[in-house]
Amino acid sequence: MRDSVLEREVFLLGFSPRHKGFYYLCSVLSELMGRNGYVSAAEAYGIACRKNRDDPSRVERCIRYAIYYAWEVNRGGIRELFPGSQTPPTPVELIRSMLWKLDEIRE
CB 66 within 8 A of CB 44: no
Please tell me the pTM assigned to this model: 0.85
Residue 12's pLDDT band (boundaries 50, 70, 90)? confident
Handedness of CA 97, 30, 92, 38 (dihedral sign): positive
- What is the distance between the alpha carbons of residues 46 and 27, in angstroms, rounded to a whole number? 11
The per-residue pLDDT for 64 is 93
At 52-106, the pLDDT tens digits run: 788 888 889 999 999 999 998 877 788 888 888 899 999 988 888 888 877 776 6
Left if phi > 0, otherwise alpha if psi is -120 to 50, otherwise beta: which for 11?
alpha
Count Cα neighbours of 18 within 13 Å in the Cβ-side half-sphere.
5
DSSP-assigned letters across all residues of 42-93: HHHHHHHHHHHT--HHHHHHHHHHHHHIIIIII--THHHHSTT-SSPPPHHH
Q: What number does CATH give the domain 3-106?
A: 1.10.10.10
Measured in whole angstroms, how far is the alpha carbon of residue 94 from the centre of its chain? Answer: 6
